[in-house]
Chains A and B, each alone.
Chain A
Amino acid sequence: MIPKWGMALFALWVVIDGSAGAEDLDLHEDEVKAGFVYNFAKFVEWPEDTAHAYVNLCIVGDSPFGFAALKAIDGRRVTQDKQLVTKLLNKSDDLTACQIIFIAASERGNMAQLLKSAHQQHTLTVSDIEGFAQAGGAIGLVNADGKIRFAINLLAAKDAGVLISSRLLALAMIVYDEHNIPLK
C-alpha cells in the first residue's frame, strides 16, 4: 500500500515541481540590511583625495549586525579595485579612516555630533534609526511592512561631499532635496 502511495506522490511532486513560484530566502533582518549597505557602497562616489583600495564600513555603537551578516559582506569587492572592509568602532574611536559609518540605534543620542564629524570627514552616513534621513543622515533604512526600503537626504550627501548615483535615487522610497524637502 505504501509503495503505491509513495510512487503516486513522487510522480505528483515531479509534475508540480516543474512549475514556477515565489522564493523565500531564509535571511535575518541584519543580513538583508548588510546587503543594502554593501550595495550602497557600489553606488556612491567619494572625493578623489579619499580614494583607497578599501571602502571601510565602520559600525558605531552596539552593532545590529550578527556574525553571519558581517561575514557575508566583509572583504567583498565593491568595484574592480575596491574592497569593502567592516570595522566595529567604539564611539570614541577616530572616524577618519571610514568611508561609510553605520550609526547603530544605541547612538541615537549622539547622532547630531556623529553626523557633523562624519560629514566633515567625507563619510557616507547610514543608519536604521527611525527618521534618520529626515534628521540629516545621508541614507536611512526603513522597515516597510517587513521589507526593507531606504530614504536619501541629498543635503547630507552634499555636506559630506559624496555623490549618490541616480540609480540609488530612483530606488529610494523618499528623497529629501537640498532644502530637506521630500521629493517623493
Chain B
Amino acid sequence: MLRRPDGACAHKTGWDSPASGDASRAPSAPAGISEPCFYKNNTMVIMKNTLMLTILSASLGMAIAQAAPEAEVADLSLEELMDIKIYSAAKKEQAMADTAAAAFVISQEDIRRSGATSIPEALRMVPGVQVAQINAHDWAIAIRGFNDRFSNKLLVMIDGRTVYSPLFSGTYWSAQDVVLEDIDRIEVIRGPGGTMWGANAVNGVINIRTKHSKYTQGGLVSAYGGNYQDGGAVRYGGELGTEGTYRVYAKGKHHDDYLNALGQDAHDQWNAGQGGFRADYKLTPKDGLSFSGDMMEMAGDETIGLRSAIDNNMSQRTANALAKLTHQTERGEWYLQSFYSSDERNGYSINQLIDTFDIEFQHNMQAGKRNAMTWGLGYRLVADELSDFNGVFFSPAQRTTQLFSLFLQDQFSMTDQLKLTVGSKLEHNDYSGFEYEPNARLLWKPNENHSTWTSVSRAVRTPSRGFHDIRIDLYRIPAMPPFLPNATVGSIVGDAGFKSEEVTAFEWGYRGQMTQKLSFDIAAFYNIYDNLLSSYPKVVQSPGLTQNLSVMVNGLEGESYGAELYANWKVTDSWRLQPGYTWLTVDTRTKNNAIDTALGLKIEGSNPQHQFSIRSQLSLPHNIEFDTTVYYVDNLSNTAVTQNTGVNVANYTRLDLRLGWRPLKALELSVTGQNLLDDRHPEFVADDLVTSQIPRSVYGKAVVAW
C-alpha cells in the first residue's frame, strides 16, 4: 500500500488550529493508522502538561515544608562569604578539567565570536567532533567517527532533555535550536558516557545548556541577513514576584537553496520558526524549580537520492515541556526532572509522530571525607506512530516502548591527588532487554597545573525502532512468464533479534597549565567495537514471488583509535589563539556470516583521518573584535557511497572571519564571512539525500540588548 505524503495530513501549517482537538490519539489508541496531524498532538501536550504540573505541585508542597530556611548572599557573614568558592566561567571550565574524561566546553563568548548562526556550526570548533553539512538543513555530526546523517552513537541533550530521535537514534539538527545568546555553555564529552547518561552515549555526549533566567533579564533583539540566510530572535526576561524570573523568546530563520555538484539549484531551501519560555523560581534558598517549553515548526525542500533525484517537501513540528526541581542538601544536591516532547516529521518515506515522556531523579552527595556518590533512576516512555510510503514499511506501524534505568557511581579520593571513579548503569529496554554500562576512571592531579587521567568503559547503542522493524524495498521486477515465473523484490529488512552495538573504550588524557597564558589538553583512545550493524543475504521463495533480502545483523566488529590535542594560548590580554588537531582511524571486519562489506567501508570512510583548526580572537581598541578560524579537513574515503553518487569529498580548507563592533554598550554589530577560500565544496555524502555544495557565504548581524 502506497500513500502519498501530501495526502497524509489535512492541514500542514500553523499552530493555530486546535479547534477540533481529538485526544483519542493517545499512545494506547487502538490499531489502525490515524492521520498524524499536529493539532491533535498539540492538545495532548497541553493535557499532559497540566497533569505534570499537578503532580509536580503536589511533590513541591512537600519539598517546601521540609526545607529549612537558609541564608542567601546578603545574609551571609563576611567569614561565610570568604569561604565561598566563586562560580564563574573559569570555575565551570575548571570543574570540567577535573573530570577523568575528554571534555570540552564551548562558552557563550566562544559561540558569539565564532559567528555561528546554529548549534551545528558552533560545534565545528570542538576537537574530536566532525561537523559535515549535507545540505542547507541537514548535518552529519559525530564524535570519534561513525559519522552519518543519523549518526547514532552520539547523545545530544538540551538542558538535560534528550533530543535524538528514537527512530534511528540520530539527531535532526535543523530541529534543534535555541536563542544562541541565551546559551550558557555547550559541554562536549568525547568517549563513552554510558554510565551517567545511558544508551547512545557510545562515542560522546553533547549537552547544550541555556542560562538560568535570572541571567537573561531585559530585552534582546538580534537580526542577521546575508547571501544565503536571514533570521532573527526576540527575547525578553522579567521577574515573577520576588523569587522568580522568566524569559520568553521567539525566533525565525530562512535559508536559501544551495547548489548541487552540477551547479544546479539544490532544492534545499527551508524556513523555521520557534518560540518558548523558561521560568525559574527559588522556593527556598535551597530549593529551585524550573519550567521550560518550546515549540518549533520548520518546512523546506530536500532532494531525495535513493534511486534518482526526487524533489520532496518535508516539514517538522516539535513541542516540549520540562519541569525540574532541585534541592541542595547539606552535602550534595538532588534533582527530579520530567519532560514531555512531541515530534512530528513528514518526510519522503516516513511520516513519524513520536511522543516521549521521561522522568528522572539524580542525587549527588559527599559521603564522608573520601567518597562523592552519584546515583539516579530514570524512566522513559516512547510512543510512536509511523506512516510509511515510497518503499519503506514499518511493522508494526505503532509501537510503545519503555526504558528503565538505574546508575550508581562513586568517586573515591584515594589521596588528595588521586581519584578513582567507578560506576555502572543498568538499563532495561524493550528491544534488547537488560544492558549494563560500567566504567572505571582514574585521575591523578599532582598539583594545580597538571593532571592526567585514564579510563576503561563500556557503552552500548541499543537497537532503534528502525533496525528492529523496518523493511525497505529497493527494487521490484514484475513476473514475465515464461521467462520469469516469479516477481522479484529486493529489500533490506530489520531483525527483531538485532542486539545492541557495543564499545569497550580505553582512554588516556593529560591537561597542563604550562604558564599563566598557555594550557594544553591531550586525549588518546582505543575503542573496540562489537556487534555493529551489517547484513547477510537471504532468498525467500514463495508462490509467485522471490524476495532477495539483506537482513540486518550484528555482523561487524572493529576498532578505532586516535587522539585529540588542543591548546589555549593567551598571547596578550587582547589576543587568544586556540589551535586544535584531531587524528582518527576506524577499522572494521565482518563476522557472523555477514558478507556486506559495504557498510564497513562506509563506516571506515565516514570520517577524515586528520582535522586541524586554529581560532584567533583579537580584541582591538574602540570595542572592535576581529576573529579568524581556519579549518583543514582531510578527505573522506567513502568509496561505498561515492560509487553510488559520483560525489567525492576531497580535503578542504575553510576560512571564517568575523569583524565585530560594539559602538554602544547595548548594541553589537558584526559581519561574518564563512568558507571564504572556496566557491563551494561538498562536506559529506549521505545515502538518501543528494549532496549540496557548501558555498562561500557572508552575513551581517546586529544585536541590541537592554
Please report A residues at the B interface, Cβ cutoff 8 Å.
2, 5-6, 9, 13, 16-17, 19-29, 31-32, 34-36, 38-39, 62, 66-69, 71-73, 76, 143, 146-149, 167-168, 171
Q: From B665, which residue of chain A is reached at the shortest CB distance?
A: A62
Q: Is B679 an interface residue (CB 8 A)?
A: no
Report yes or no: A27 in contact with B215, Cβ–Cβ below 8 A. no
Q: Which of B85, B377, B426 lies in contact with A24, CB distance below 8 A? A: B85
Report yes or no: B86 in contact with A36, Cβ–Cβ below 8 A. no
A168–chain B nearest beta-carbon distance, Å? 8
Which residues 67-84 in B have Cβ within 8 Å of A in the complex? Answer: 72-74, 76-79, 81-84
Report yes or no: B82 in contact with A23, Cβ–Cβ below 8 A. no
Give the B interface residue count (CB, 8 A): 41
Report yes or no: B73 in contact with A35, Cβ–Cβ below 8 A. yes
Report yes or no: B81 in contact with A13, Cβ–Cβ below 8 A. no
Report yes or no: B84 in contact with A148, Cβ–Cβ below 8 A. yes
Q: Is B48 an interface residue (CB 8 A)?
A: no
Report yes or no: A146 in contact with B85, Cβ–Cβ below 8 A. yes
User: What residues on B are CB-neighbors of A20 within 8 Å?
Assistant: 330-331
A147-B214 CB under 8 A given contacts A16-B373, A39-B77, A73-B74? no
Q: From A13, which residue of chain B is reached at the shortest CB distance?
A: B363
User: What residues on B are CB-neighbors of A68 within 8 Å?
Assistant: 214-215
Q: Which of A9, A21, A34, A36 lies in contact with B332, CB distance below 8 A? A: A21
B201–chain A nearest beta-carbon distance, Å? 21
Report yes or no: B365 in contact with A9, Cβ–Cβ below 8 A. no
User: What residues on B are CB-neighbors of A36 within 8 Å?
Assistant: 78, 81
Report yes or no: A72 in contact with B367, Cβ–Cβ below 8 A. no
Measured in the bound complex, the distance between the Cα atoms of B623 and A62 in whole Å is 13
User: What residues on B are CB-neighbors of A5 within 8 Å?
Assistant: 406, 426
Q: Which of B82, B87, B328 lies in contact with A171, CB distance below 8 A? A: B82
Report yes or no: A27 in contact with B87, Cβ–Cβ below 8 A. yes
Measured in the bound complex, the distance between the Cα atoms of B328 and A149 in whole Å is 26
Prevailing SS type, chain A contact patch: helix
User: What residues on B are CB-neighbors of A29 within 8 Å?
Assistant: 86-88
Q: Is B431 an interface residue (CB 8 A)?
A: no
Report yes or no: B363 in contact with A31, Cβ–Cβ below 8 A. no
Report yes or no: A35 in contact with B81, Cβ–Cβ below 8 A. yes
User: What residues on B are CB-neighbors of A171 within 8 Å?
Assistant: 78-79, 82
Q: Is B329 an interface residue (CB 8 A)?
A: yes
Q: Is B380 an interface residue (CB 8 A)?
A: no
User: What residues on A are CB-neighbors of B218 within 8 Å?
Assistant: 67
Q: Is B91 an interface residue (CB 8 A)?
A: yes
User: What residues on B are CB-neighbors of A17 within 8 Å?
Assistant: 329-331, 365
Q: Is B561 an interface residue (CB 8 A)?
A: no
User: What residues on B are CB-neighbors of A13 within 8 Å?
Assistant: 363, 365, 375
A174–chain B nearest beta-carbon distance, Å? 14
A28-B87 CB under 8 A given contacts A22-B366, A35-B81, A39-B77? yes
Q: How many A-B residue pairs have CB under 8 A?
A: 112
User: What residues on A are CB-neighbors of B72 within 8 Å?
Assistant: 72
Report yes or no: B367 in contact with A32, Cβ–Cβ below 8 A. no
A62–chain B nearest beta-carbon distance, Å? 7
Q: B91-112: contact bitstring with A at CB < 8 Å (1 yes, 0 no)? A: 1001000000000000000000
A147-B82 CB under 8 A given contacts A6-B377, A27-B73, A72-B73? yes
Report yes or no: B84 in contact with A147, Cβ–Cβ below 8 A. yes
Measured in the bound complex, the distance between the Cα atoms of B363 and A1 in whole Å is 21
Q: Is B404 an interface residue (CB 8 A)?
A: yes
A19-B408 CB under 8 A given contacts A25-B84, A147-B83, A148-B82? no
Measured in the bound complex, the distance between the Cα atoms of B79 and A32 in whole Å is 12
Measured in the bound complex, the distance between the Cα atoms of B85 and A76 in whole Å is 24
Given A67-B215, A148-B82, A171-B78, 4 additional A-B pairs, CB 8 A: A9-B408, A19-B368, A62-B665, A66-B217
User: What residues on B are CB-neighbors of A32 within 8 Å?
Assistant: 73, 81, 84, 86
A22-B74 CB under 8 A given contacts A35-B81, A146-B91, A148-B86? no
Which residues 50-78 in B have Cβ within 8 Å of A in the complex? Answer: 72-74, 76-78
User: What residues on A are CB-neighbors of B365 within 8 Å?
Assistant: 13, 16-17, 21
User: What residues on B are CB-neighbors of A27 within 8 Å?
Assistant: 73, 84, 86-87
A-B contact pairs, 14 of them (CB 8 A): A6-B377, A16-B373, A17-B330, A21-B330, A21-B365, A21-B367, A32-B86, A36-B81, A67-B218, A72-B74, A143-B86, A146-B91, A148-B81, A148-B86
Measured in the bound complex, the distance between the Cα atoms of B217 and A17 in whole Å is 36
B526–chain A nearest beta-carbon distance, Å? 32
Measured in the bound complex, the distance between the Cα atoms of B375 and A16 in whole Å is 13
Q: Is B428 an interface residue (CB 8 A)?
A: yes
A170–chain B nearest beta-carbon distance, Å? 10
User: What residues on A are CB-neighbors of B366 within 8 Å?
Assistant: 21-22
